[in-house]
Homo-oligomer: A and B are copies of this chain.
Amino acid sequence: MPTPRIVIIGGGFGGLYTAQHLKHAPAQVTLIDRRNFHLFQPLLYQVATGGLSPANIAAPLRSILKRQRNTEVLLAEVMNIDPAAQRIDFADGESINYDYLVVATGASHNYFGNDQWSQFAPGLKSIEDATEIRRKVLMAFETAEREPDAERRKALLRFVVVGGGPTGVELAGTLGEISRETLKHDFRHINPADAEILLVEALDRILTPYDPSLSEKAKQQLEDLGVKVMLKTMVTDIQANSLRLKHGESEQTLETYNILWGAGVQASPLGAVLNRATGVALDRAGRVTVEPDMSIPGHPNLFVIGDMSLFLHQTGKPLPGVAQAAMQQGKYVAKLIQTRLSQPNHTPAPFSYYDKGSMSTIGRSKAVAQTGNLKFSGWIAWMMWLFIHVLFLVRFENQILVLLQWSGNYFTRNRSARLITGEHHELLPEVSRAIPAPESAKDRIKDPAVESTQQSRI
């Protein structure tokens, strides 16, 4: 009998954990990703704000799995899955067959039908997103330093973060720190602390997955950093140099060159591929509805895990789109497949999520955390967050470097990775004074059902 082949698509938390838990499986394991590294997404905002370098939060997949002899890493882009033929087709025309398949290709942002906004309001999902945001933010200060007109300077130093989930809160808090602390002595013609940082949230509080008391604490901590939190406020339009906001009946247009998108979830397009091939149901965010064992109905050897799966929690709610859930699912599926290799008719207990709690950081000594009925905020929550994240980075071989870099940042309030790199390092284009006031106000930008899954991702 030939060695069974287990194929995993995606090297994020779900896919990588599946592969690692198949270490002793009598099978050939193939992990496929478009990129050659695993990305520690929960710290991506640190790269976007110049606190860490890309390599601090990414590790080559080959390096992580080099000693795992039954496993190979394949750098390739999957275009199609054929569950009937048990075959995967790559973008370059090649194909491979599988005996078991685990799909874990995650999710990206959701502009809720306004994809044209993405060019003006980048989201934060990849290393390239992070260095692009870093470039834009730093160039805004540089351009303001050379801008003689006071009104234009004000617009250049206006930063708008859309979405009061963990990503938006982290970005807004860090922008507050950068403008108030890091850049304090750097400029001669502007005061970076004059930067206006707005956090826009459609619901009536930020960090909705948390207890309302923690949402309020997080808001206060953001305000201490100079961030203006705008609740019950919707984005109705985004143009190159402006943003239109609606709060109740009143609308306003703000001139701004820095809009960061932290709202919404859109599952990987491979969800739609599986839907066409098997008829499996997708939700509005494109997530694949899975069975209690994370498989697809009618395909017991095909599993979907992590952010691209829709799994109903014991409580009846969908699981949050966090690393913790993806990791537990990866471990569960790996054990299930390994058991099936020796007992083909094994019926497993359904997957059960163990919620270890949630934590979100806001800035230096500022965070909120919640586990069971326990709630923490401020310095103690931040220390918990720091401890758990550093512990986590152990897998990355460079945790000590990150800890040292952070210690350095903490004491010096410096952020040494604030390089403006990439093809476009010229100053921002000439500021357009005439701001178009669009008439067609979109009625909503946020889907609370989707947004509620955007919890802290660890």
Contact = CB atoms under 8 A, between A and B. Distances in A.
Interface of A: 34-37, 53-56, 58-60, 62-63, 66-67, 72-77, 91-92, 94, 127-128, 131, 138, 142, 145-146, 183, 185-189, 396-398, 400-401, 404-405, 408, 412, 414, 416-423, 425-427
18 contacts: A36-B419, A36-B425, A37-B420, A53-B56, A53-B417, A54-B421, A55-B416, A59-B416, A60-B186, A60-B419, A63-B416, A72-B188, A75-B142, A76-B427, A127-B419, A127-B421, A128-B421, A397-B416
Contacts of A62: 183, 186-187
Contacts of A73: 186
A397 to B, nearest CB: 6
B419 A54 contact: yes
Nearest to A30: B188
A428 to B, nearest CB: 11
Contacts of A396: 416
B397 A408 contact: yes
Given A77-B426, A92-B427, A416 B398 contact: yes
Given A55-B419, A92-B427, 4 more contacts: A62-B187, A74-B146, A76-B427, A127-B421
Nearest to A61: B186
A405 B55 CA distance: 11
Nearest to A417: B55
Copies of this chain present: 2
Q: Please indicate which of the listed interface residues A35, A60, A73 has the most CB atoms of chain B within 10 Å of its own CB.
A: A60
A132 B263 CA distance: 32
A142 B397 contact: no
A92 B429 CA distance: 10
Interface pairs A-B: 4 shortest CB-CB? A55-B417, A53-B53, A62-B186, A66-B185
Contact of A425 (B35, B138, B397): B35
Contacts of A187: 62
A185 B67 contact: yes
A187 B75 CA distance: 11
A177 to B, nearest CB: 15
B128 A422 contact: yes
Contacts of A422: 128
Contacts of A55: 53, 416-417, 419
Contacts of A142: 36, 75
A128 B424 CA distance: 11
A91 B425 CA distance: 13
A156 B305 CA distance: 36
A135 to B, nearest CB: 10
Contacts of A75: 142, 145-146, 427
Nearest to A135: B36
